[in-house]
Amino acid sequence: MMAAGILVVVLLLVIAVFIGGLQLMERSEVHTEASSIGREILETIEDAGGFAALPLVAGKFDDSIPDARVDGFPPKPYSEAERGGREYNVTVETKAVGTTNRSMAVLVTVSWGEGRIQLEKVFHAADAAL
């Protein structure tokens, strides 16, 4: 009887660890997809000319009405993306860095029902000339 009780407890612990591992794997996949979406936007900006592809003024692009999109900025997959059957909302924010207006930071926020991630990259005017 004692051995059966110990076996049941061990089996329940193994099942709990297995279920926890599956949940952790799912969360990891969601974070990976969200990071991929954010990196895709930052790489598209870099490929389009970096600093030269940014609007001249700081702003927040969150798909509000009226949306202040400027010459195709921010690039797709702004403002929504779907990956793996999950919907992600994308917000892009630009802001000047320093006092010379020769550097702009781009903050990309990718959110979903229960979480969000943020990626930020600073673009420099000197890099755009290269």
Q: What is the pLDDT of residues 15-73, one digit of tens each?
A: 999 999 999 999 999 999 999 999 999 999 999 889 988 888 788 888 876 666 667 78
Q: What is the pLDDT of residue 18?
A: 95
pLDDT of residue 84: 85
Q: Is the pLDDT of residue 127 over 80?
A: no
Instruction: Give the C-alpha separation, 78 to 25, whole Å.
Output: 26
CA distances to 48, 65, 77 from 123, rounded to whole Å, are 12, 27, 20
pTM confidence score:
0.81
Closest CA to 59 of 19, 106, 26, 97: 106
Over residues 93-119, the pLDDT tens digits come to 999 998 877 899 999 999 999 899 999
